[in-house]
Amino acid sequence: MIKKIKWLIIGSAAIVFLFPVSSKAIPLTSALEIKSPILHEYLYGLDHTPFIETLFSFPSAIGDVTANLQFVPDYGDNASDFVGFTPGNIALIERGVTFFSTKVLNAEVAGAVGAIIYDNIFQPVISGTLVDITTVPSVFATRDFGMELLGYLQSGSVIVHLAVSPVPEPTSLFLLGSALIVLAGLWRKFKKK
């Protein structure tokens, strides 16, 4: 009976721990910093946050990149929009015509190390939807912020730092801790045999 209860607890702990991982529910946070021509750091969740990491079906890829920003004309919905794109740059793309993930995937193919998609409507920041897994960090920004970046690009080169990282929030830490305790227990039991 005690053995059964033990396995029930182990099983429940495994499900509780694995569920958030499999459902990609790990919360992300993002930071966007203009390194040049002006120095300005924006952190996700603070007042007047101009951007949000793309979420829903698939979250943004995790990553931390600093590179030149390059505007991609005509929505970045087809490969031809990326003719002349310099690999290693971060792509600045306008929202519209196709999925966020299609734009990010096109940017990846063109060699972009990150993507900033800005709104095609002046409104508070909304959450974007990635319908495919992407491999470079991407954020969705307000039109105001996109216009600000475009303004800097018109006068010369712009260097941005873009970071998307997991949030070590208390629930995740608690679940991770519980899972580790269960594993330690199993390890001790295994060693005894």
In the complex, the residues that contact Ca ion under the rule CB under 5 A are 74-75, 77-78, 81
Q: Is the separation of the CB atoms in 82 and 103 below 8 Å?
A: no
Q: Of the two residues 17 and 85, which places its CB atom closer to Ca ion in the complex?
A: 85
| CA neighbor of 122 nearest in space, from 149, 95, 100 | 95
Q: Of the two residues 75 and 145, which places its CB atom closer to Ca ion in the complex?
A: 75
Q: Of the two residues 44 and 75, which places its CB atom closer to Ca ion in the complex?
A: 75
Q: How far is the CB of 74 from Ca ion (least distance, A)?
A: 4
Q: Of the two residues 74 and 132, which places its CB atom closer to Ca ion in the complex?
A: 74
Among all residues, whose Cβ is closest to Ca ion? 74
Question: ω into residue 166 within 30 of 0, thus cis?
Answer: no
Burial class (CB in 10 A: 0-12, 13-18, 19+), 41: exposed
Q: How far is the CB of 89 from Ca ion (least distance, A)?
A: 18
Q: Of the two residues 73 and 151, which places its CB atom closer to Ca ion in the complex?
A: 73
Q: Which amino acid is at 80?
A: S
Q: Which two tokens stand for residue 102?
A: 């299609």
Q: How far is the CB of 97 from Ca ion (least distance, A)?
A: 7
Q: How far is the CB of 146 from Ca ion (least distance, A)?
A: 16
Q: How far is the CB of 152 from Ca ion (least distance, A)?
A: 23
Give the H or E element holding residue 192: helix 170-192
The radius of gyration of the chain from alpha carbons, rounded to an integer in Å, stands at 21
| CA neighbor of 28 nearest in space, from 173, 164, 176 | 164
